[in-house]
Amino acid sequence: MLTIQSWLSFYSANYACVGKLVGRFYDENGAPTEALRQAEAAIEEGLKFQKGKEQFPPCNSEWSSAKGSRFWCSRQSGGVNRDWTGVPRKLYRPGSRGSHCVCVRTSGPPWGQQGSAQHSDRGDLDNPHLQEYEGCHPQ
């Protein structure tokens, strides 16, 4: 849906609107349909998720029948380039079932408080939606 949003932004910025196509997204009066409202809601969710990936990029992972699952973080984990490596943690999102592995900053102020002088220098480790992996060293 974010790709569609990007395409729409490009054409809106570079071309004049000459009308609306009657069908799935607009009715015969040019009014938005429920399908368009659902698409717009999905785009909003995608934008929120994209911002979340900046704070908590997905871990690198591998699985083998001999060793099972392994998770680790790098400066490019989850396709998100950054200047920190982080440590793997389980992230539980409110309203979601289960967890998924994310990389978490271990130093500096928490996300959204970059300019703050008062912080515990633990990055996002104290976020209440995170949990350490059992049997793994915290660092």
Average pLDDT over residues 79-96: 90
End-to-end CA distance of the chain: 36
**Distance of alpha carbon 39 from alpha carbon 29, whole angstroms:** 19
Q: What is the pLDDT of residue 50?
A: 66
CB 130 within 8 A of CB 136: no
In angstroms, the CA 17 to CA 11 distance is: 9
Q: Which residue has the higher pLDDT, 1 or 123?
A: 123
Select from 62, 50, 54 the least CA-distant residue to 6. 50
pLDDT for residue 51? 67
Mean pLDDT on 91-95: 86
CB 88, CB 133: distance < 8 Å: yes
Closest CA to 87 of 122, 62, 63: 122
pLDDT of residue 129: 93
